[in-house]
Structure 1
Amino acid sequence: MDDLWDNITKLSAVCRKAGEHLPEAELTSLQVGKVAEEAGEAMHALHGLKGLTTCGDDHHWAEVQNDLVGAVIAALLAMHYIDRDGARRTFDEIFHRRTRRGRAAAAA
Structure 2
Amino acid sequence: MDAIWDDIEKLSAVCRAAGAHLPDEELRSLQIGKVAEEAGEAMHALHGLKGLTTCGDDHDWNEVQNDLVGAVIAALLAMHYVSPADARVTFDEIFHRRTRRGREAARAV
Class of the TM-score when normalised by the shorter of the 2 chains: over 0.9
Which amino acid in 2 is paired with 1:84?
A: P
TM superposition outliers: structure 1 runs of 4+ over 4 Å? 101-104
**Conserved? CA contact 2:39–2:68, under 8 Å:** yes
Tell me the equivalent position of 1:20: 20
**Which residue identity lines up with residue 52 of structure 1 in the other structure?**
L
Which sections of structure 1, spanning at least 5 residues, go unmatched?
A: none
Percent of pairs identical after alignment?
82
Q: Aligned partners of 2:13, 2:103: CA distance in 1, in Å?
A: 36
Aligned residues: 104
- In structure 2, list runs of 5 or more residues that go unmatched: 105-109
Q: Take 1:42 and 1:66, find their aligned partners in 2: how far apart are those partners?
A: 8
Superposed displacement of residue 99, structure 1: 1.0
- Equivalent in the alignment of 1:98: 98
Q: Determine the structure 2 residue equivalent to 1:33.
A: 33
> Residue by residue, what CA displacement relative to the aligned partner does 1:21-66 show, whole Å, maximum 9, x if unpaired?
1001000000000000000000000000000001111000000000
